[in-house]
Chain A
Amino acid sequence: MLHALAEQNTPEVRKQARRYAEQRIPLLRGACVPVSKQTPRDLVDDAITDIFLGDGDPWDPNQCDLLTHLRGAILKRTWLEIRHRKLVRYSPFDLAEGDVETVLARERPHASRGDISPIVFASMIELVATELRKIETRDGPAQVILECWQVGFVERREVMLLTGLDDETYKLARERILLRKKYLPPRLVAIVEDLLDRSA
């Protein structure tokens, strides 16, 4: 296993893993997990060190390649942190009436540096989830993938196994889901980008 780790831990794989880790930052920040510019790099380093030391979920090079394992390890760790933060961090809020855009506009100036207020985060979750649920009900393959996602099955292999979708059908349905990012409100995208800038 250590031999495979040394062999597959190439600059290209490190670049790919870091790019993956970077996409976890908006959610981490939204859940008030402390993050910095170095967080994506540190997430990758932690996952590699875990393999080397035999900590965490073991990597079997015969089951998947290093990049897939690193992405899975980063996903698991960040998900647990996000969920933990959301579970323990309850505080009272003055929930004024108003639509999501109004709430976002009101909350943003008050957000501390690099932070997303819980209201903004809740709005962000609601907006994205609502957008994903706009997938046509006739689109069976996309619907079953979303059902898998919302109960915690996200990897291609497990989703295909659970749904019986073939490779091509899965791939096209997943693409249709990811295309929904085009329809997310520009305001939401701007907030996430702004927060990322402020953390730089």
Chain B
Amino acid sequence: MSDDWSPPTGEYERPRILASLEVTSEVAEGDCIDPVLGVSERDLRLVDAFYHHLGVEASEDPSPPTAEEQESIDWLGEQFAKLQAMTPEELDALREERARARRWRR
């Protein structure tokens, strides 16, 4: 992995991005999603993004699957084959079942 950073020449100034970023409505300066422990939305998003990129790195690891991973890969293949073999009625029923499960989770 390369880490050959040299000081910037000024072409990526922070004001440029600050001016262009449209912050989503749920993120505001000082927004605190856990007032007791002081976890801010920004910190949570930052850490979430960091883990996302660690995940992207992990997914690009070319090593062969472990036995446990292979089991999941095969299972996922079987599930997909089952989906493909379903009739339109069975697919409608599955859609309804998943919608119910989502409503219940909320």
Which A residues are closer than 8 A to B by beta carbons?
A: 6, 9, 11, 14-24, 26-27, 38, 40-41, 44-45, 48-49, 52-53, 55, 67, 71, 75, 79, 82-83, 86-87, 90-93, 95, 118-119, 121-122, 124-126, 128-129, 132, 138-144, 146-154, 162-165, 169, 172-181
Contacts and interface: CB of A to CB of B under 8 A. Distances in A.
Contact of A140 (B12, B51, B52): B12
Interface in B24-55: 24, 27, 33-39, 41-55
B80 A15 contact: no
B52 A75 contact: yes
Nearest to A184: B50
B73 A15 contact: yes
Given A75-B52, A140-B11, 11 more contacts: A17-B59, A23-B58, A48-B76, A49-B94, A71-B56, A83-B33, A86-B44, A122-B37, A139-B8, A143-B14, A163-B12
Interface of B: 1-5, 7-8, 10-14, 16-18, 20-21, 23-24, 27, 33-39, 41-61, 65, 69, 72-73, 75-77, 79-80, 83-84, 91, 94-95, 98
7 contacts: A52-B83, A75-B55, A86-B44, A163-B17, A172-B2, A172-B3, A175-B1
Contact of B38 (A11, A20, A122): A122
Contacts of B14: 140, 143-144, 147
Contacts of A140: 8, 10-14
Contacts of B12: 140-141, 144, 163-165, 169
Contacts of B42: 150-151
Contacts of A53: 91, 94-95, 98
B52 to A, nearest CB: 5
A142 B50 CA distance: 12
A26 B21 CA distance: 29
B73 A128 contact: no
A53 B90 CA distance: 11
A121 to B, nearest CB: 8
Contacts, number: 203
B70 to A, nearest CB: 8
B74 to A, nearest CB: 8
Nearest to A78: B48
Contact of A49 (B13, B33, B41, B98): B98
Contacts of A67: 59
A33 to B, nearest CB: 10
A67 B53 CA distance: 14
Contacts of A48: 76, 79-80, 83
